[in-house]
């Protein structure tokens, strides 16, 4: 684990080959989210990469929630 105990980088990938088309005509494009610890810690102390696939609609919801959390965190930082 790094000195701070948290991940340091996020990588996003949208691969058109990961899209699935269903018989009813709905097409679902998966987005890959990989969170890594690239802090420079020795490999034995670094956090293991966290990987997940998420559909576009869910990714938009996640992005909105992250934006709202960032807004609140910035307000708290400025209030100190």
Q: What are the b/e assignments for 49-60, b being 16+ CB within 10 Å?
A: eeeeeeeeeebe
Number of domains in the chain: 1
Residue 1 lies in a domain: no
Residue 72 lies in a domain: yes
Task: State the chain's mean pLDDT as an integer.
Answer: 88
Residue 33 lies in a domain: yes
Range of the domain at 61: 9-79
3-state secondary structure 16-60: HHHCEECCCCCEECEEEEEEECCCCCCCCCCCCCEEEEEEHHHHH
Residue 21 lies in a domain: yes
User: With 80 as the cut, is the pLDDT of residue 39 above it?
Assistant: no
pLDDT in tens, 25-34: 888 899 999 9
Residue 18 lies in a domain: yes
User: With 80 as the cut, is the pLDDT of residue 56 above it?
Assistant: yes
Whether this prediction's pTM lies above 0.75 is answered by no
Query: Residue 12 — pLDDT band, cuts 50, 70, 90?
Result: very high
pLDDT in tens, 60-72: 999 999 999 999 9
Residue 4 lies in a domain: no
């Amino acid at each position: 684990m790094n000195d701070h105990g948290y991940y340091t980088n996020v990588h996003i990938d949208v691969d058109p080959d990961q899209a699935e088309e269903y018989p009813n005509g709905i097409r679902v494009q998966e987005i890959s989210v990989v969170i890594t610890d690239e802090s420079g810690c020795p490999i034995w102390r670094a956090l293991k990469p966290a990987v997940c696939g998420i559909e576009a609609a869910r990714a938009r919801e996640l992005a909105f929630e992250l934006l709202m959390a960032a807004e609140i965190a910035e307000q708290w930082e400025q209030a100190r």
